[in-house]
């Protein structure tokens, strides 16, 4: 179970897992809390179901759908997870996986099959970015929910350590790194990039346009660097609730030629591969899929310090890690764009680090806990 089927890093990781395990060995039902339709991203051999439906073909149908969803929300917030599960989840399963924090985790914890193996995935630093209270009545319920899982799989050691800071009583926590389809990504790797002379240095970022990703502080950094005379262009691939405010900032500060927001792109790798520097401005991460993809593509990287960044980049060995502030990120980006040689050095370091990501080994780790 996951909260939605596409649009974020956890969803992309789930697609990679399901497309790279042997479906002859598993009979899989995938539940999405919210209905959406990226069917082509998931293998044909799995069953997909939704809890909160979004589509109806008539006005009357939409009216009853709205009523039904309100009834389900009432049950979710006023009754136990066991009651919700019993009403809205069909089937008896050997292994039940809550693939993301929050709603999916609370629902799976309510399984009435005491013999099933229950696994909860944690993709985010819940100590510094504790977004999940909206899915629970209180912290005590969240702790109780996690204690119902035989395994809690965190996507980095930092994520694991910070989960135990948030909930010290948990003792069933392990690290499972996100699998990445490195071969599919490498197909888009640029063979030879044009010289940095006489063209803008191309920066790219990838993520949802939300507060967590820090684009509200990245845009002022780009404005400042542009005003200082640096020939740069930033592309941010993604969509989200902050789009209008970011577009307004770009318009008001006459940055339309310097910053582009193309929106969510299903396959971003060609655009990423043509870039010089990947920027992660996040306030919080668990284990950045986008940084991993940038390493595989051989892009120089500068990122704020979040969970998992040191596991990906070492002590600034394979990319620049700054303190998690606007000023520190500005300094990190400025140091790169001021030195073509440094950009080239970190591109080579990314290429070296990319050999760390073996899809088959990581899938084997996941199959072992399933």
Say which residue, 187 or 139, is predicted with more confidence: 139
pLDDT at 191 over 80: no
Q: How far is CA 286 from the centre of its chain?
A: 8
> In angstroms, how far apart are the furthest CA atoms of the chain?
65
Do 151 and 186 share a domain, yes or no? no
Beta-bridged to residue 251, according to DSSP, are none
Q: How far apart are CA 121 and CA 149, in angstroms?
A: 10
48: which 2 tokens?
A: 């997909």
- The domain that holds 20 is classified in CATH as 3.40.50.2000
Do 77 and 200 share a domain, yes or no? no
Do 192 and 132 share a domain, yes or no? no
Question: 54 lies in a domain?
Answer: yes
Would you tell me how many other CB atoms lie within 10 Å of the CB of residue 354?
Answer: 21
Say which residue, 13 or 286, is predicted with more confidence: 13
8-state DSSP, 47:
E
Is-contact 283 124, C-beta < 8 A? Answer: no
Question: In the listed set 176, 206, 237, which residue is the last one of a domain according to the structure?
Answer: 176
Question: In three state form, how does the secondary structure of 149-215 look?
Answer: CCEEEECCHHHHHHHHHHCCCCCCEEECCCCCCHHHHHCCCCCCCCCCCCCCEEEEEECCCCHHHCH
Question: 216 lies in a domain?
Answer: yes
In the chain, count H helices and then E strands: 15, 12
Would you tell me how many other CB atoms lie within 10 Å of the CB of residue 325?
Answer: 14
Average pLDDT, the chain: 91
Do 70 and 122 share a domain, yes or no? yes
Q: What's the whole-number mean pLDDT along residues 206-226?
A: 96
Q: What pLDDT, on the 0 to 100 scale, is given for residue 193?
A: 60
Do 84 and 161 share a domain, yes or no? yes
pLDDT by residue (tens digit) across 26-51? 999 999 999 887 667 899 989 999 99
Percent of the chain clearing pLDDT 70 (strictly above): 97
Q: What's the whole-number mean pLDDT along residues 96-122?
A: 96
Question: 115 lies in a domain?
Answer: yes
Domain count, the chain: 2
Q: What pLDDT, on the 0 to 100 scale, is given for residue 196?
A: 66
pLDDT by residue (tens digit) across 155-175? 989 899 999 999 999 989 999
Reported as a pLDDT band with limits 50, 70 and 90, residue 68 is very high
347: which 2 tokens?
A: 């591109």
Q: How far apart are CA 12 and CA 217, in angstroms?
A: 26
Q: What pLDDT, on the 0 to 100 scale, is given for residue 194?
A: 58
Do 205 and 309 share a domain, yes or no? yes
Q: How far apart are CA 204 and CA 272, in angstroms?
A: 7
Question: 40 lies in a domain?
Answer: yes
Do 157 and 233 share a domain, yes or no? no
Supply the range of the domain harboring residue 345: 182-356
Is-contact 204 271, C-beta < 8 A? Answer: yes
Question: In the listed set 116, 146, 176, which residue is the last one of a domain according to the structure?
Answer: 176
Question: In the listed set 130, 157, 176, which residue is the last one of a domain according to the structure?
Answer: 176
Q: What pLDDT, on the 0 to 100 scale, is given for residue 316?
A: 92
Window from 256-265, 332-341, 350-359 with minimum mean pLDDT: 350-359
pLDDT at 257 over 90: yes
Question: 1 lies in a domain?
Answer: no
Question: 369 lies in a domain?
Answer: no
Do 161 and 71 share a domain, yes or no? yes
Q: What pLDDT, on the 0 to 100 scale, is given for residue 80?
A: 95
Q: What pLDDT, on the 0 to 100 scale, is given for residue 39?
A: 62
Q: What pLDDT, on the 0 to 100 scale, is given for residue 187?
A: 80
Question: 230 lies in a domain?
Answer: yes
pLDDT by residue (tens digit) across 272-305? 999 999 999 999 888 888 999 999 999 999 999 9
Do 172 and 206 share a domain, yes or no? no
Q: How far apart are CA 197 and CA 178, in angstroms?
A: 37
Q: How far apart are CA 95 and CA 108, in angstroms?
A: 10
Question: 2 lies in a domain?
Answer: no
CB neighbour list of residue 296: distance below 8 Å, 6 or more residues apart: 180, 182, 185, 186, 189, 354, 357
Do 130 and 48 share a domain, yes or no? yes
Q: Which of 328, 330, 344, 347 is nearest to 230 (CA)?
A: 330
Do 227 and 128 share a domain, yes or no? no
Reported as a pLDDT band with limits 50, 70 and 90, residue 188 is confident
Q: Which of 213, 38, 17, 184 is nearest to 99 (CA)?
A: 17
Do 336 and 216 share a domain, yes or no? yes
Is-contact 270 206, C-beta < 8 A? Answer: no
Q: What pLDDT, on the 0 to 100 scale, is given for residue 181?
A: 82
Q: How far apart are CA 257 and CA 62, in angstroms?
A: 42
């Amino acid at each position: 179970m996951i909260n939605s089927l596409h649009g974020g890093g956890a969803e992309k990781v789930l697609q990679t897992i399901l497309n790279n395990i042997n479906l002859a060995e598993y009979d899989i039902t995938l539940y999405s809390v919210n209905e959406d339709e990226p069917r082509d991203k998931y293998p044909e051999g799995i069953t997909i179901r939704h809890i909160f439906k979004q589509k109806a073909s008539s006005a009357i149908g939409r009216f009853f759908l709205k009523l039904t969803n309100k009834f389900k929300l009432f049950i979710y917030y006023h009754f136990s997870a066991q009651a919700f599960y019993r009403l809205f989840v069909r089937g008896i399963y050997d292994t039940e996986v809550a693939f993301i924090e929050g709603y999916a985790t609370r629902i799976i914890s309510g399984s009435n099959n005491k013999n099933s193996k229950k696994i909860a995935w944690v993709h985010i630093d819940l100590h510094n970015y504790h977004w999940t209270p909206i899915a629970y009545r209180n912290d005590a319920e969240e702790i109780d929910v996690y204690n119902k899982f035989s395994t809690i799989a965190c996507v980095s050691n930092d994520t694991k350590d910070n989960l135990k800071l948030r909930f010290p009583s948990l003792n069933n926590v392990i690290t499972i790194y996100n699998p990445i389809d490195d071969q599919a990504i490498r197909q888009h790797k640029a063979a030879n990039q044009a010289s940095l002379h006489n063209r803008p240095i191309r920066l790219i970022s990838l993520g949802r346009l939300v507060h967590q990703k820090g684009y509200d502080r990245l845009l002022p950094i780009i404005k400042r660097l542009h005003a200082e005379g640096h020939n740069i262009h930033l592309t941010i691939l993604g969509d989200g609730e902050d789009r209008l405010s970011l577009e307004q900032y770009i318009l008001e500060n006459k940055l339309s030629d310097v910053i582009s927001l193309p929106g969510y792109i299903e396959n971003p790798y060609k655009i990423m591969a043509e870039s010089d520097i990947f920027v992660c401005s996040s306030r919080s991460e668990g284990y950045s899929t986008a940084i991993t993809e940038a390493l595989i593509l051989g892009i120089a990287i500068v990122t704020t310090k979040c969970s998992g960044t040191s596991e990906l980049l070492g002590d600034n060995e394979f990319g620049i890690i700054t303190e998690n502030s606007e000023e520190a990120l500005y300094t990190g980006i400025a140091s790169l764009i001021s030195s073509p040689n440094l950009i080239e050095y970190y591109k080579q370091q990314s290429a070296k680090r990319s050999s760390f990501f073996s899809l088959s080994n990581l899938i084997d780790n996941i199959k072992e806990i399933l």
